[in-house]
Structure 1
Amino acid sequence: MASSSKVWSVFSLVAAVAAAAVAKKGLNTSWRAATGKNPPANPADPDVDLWEAVAWAAVSGTFVGIARMLASRKAADYYTKSTGHLPPDLVRDDQDADSAPAPQS
Structure 2
Amino acid sequence: MADDRPDVAWRVIGAAVGLVTAWGARKLLGLAWVKATGKEPPLDPDSPEVSMGEAIGYAVVMGVGMSVAQIVVNRTAKKRYDSWRALKQVSPKQ
TM over 0.5: yes
- Out of 66, 69, 76, the residue aligned to residue 67 of structure 1 is 69
Q: Where does structure 2 lack aligned partners over 5 or more consecutive residues?
A: 87-94
Structure-2-length-normalised TM-score: 0.79
Larger proportion of helix: 2
1:39 aligns with 2:38: no
Structure 1 stretches of 4+ with a deviation exceeding 3 A read none
* Conserved? CA contact 1:16–1:69, under 8 Å: no
* Conserved? CA contact 1:40–1:53, under 8 Å: yes
* Conserved? CA contact 1:19–1:71, under 8 Å: yes
* Conserved? CA contact 1:28–1:38, under 8 Å: yes
RMSD in angstroms over aligned alpha carbons?
Answer: 1.8
* Conserved? CA contact 1:31–1:38, under 8 Å: yes
| CA displacement at 1:42 relative to structure 2 | 1.5
* Conserved? CA contact 1:15–1:72, under 8 Å: yes
| 1:1-105 alignment, distance < 5 Å | 5-84=7-86
Q: Where does structure 1 lack aligned partners over 5 or more consecutive residues?
A: 85-105
Identity of aligned residues (%): 30
Aligned length: 84
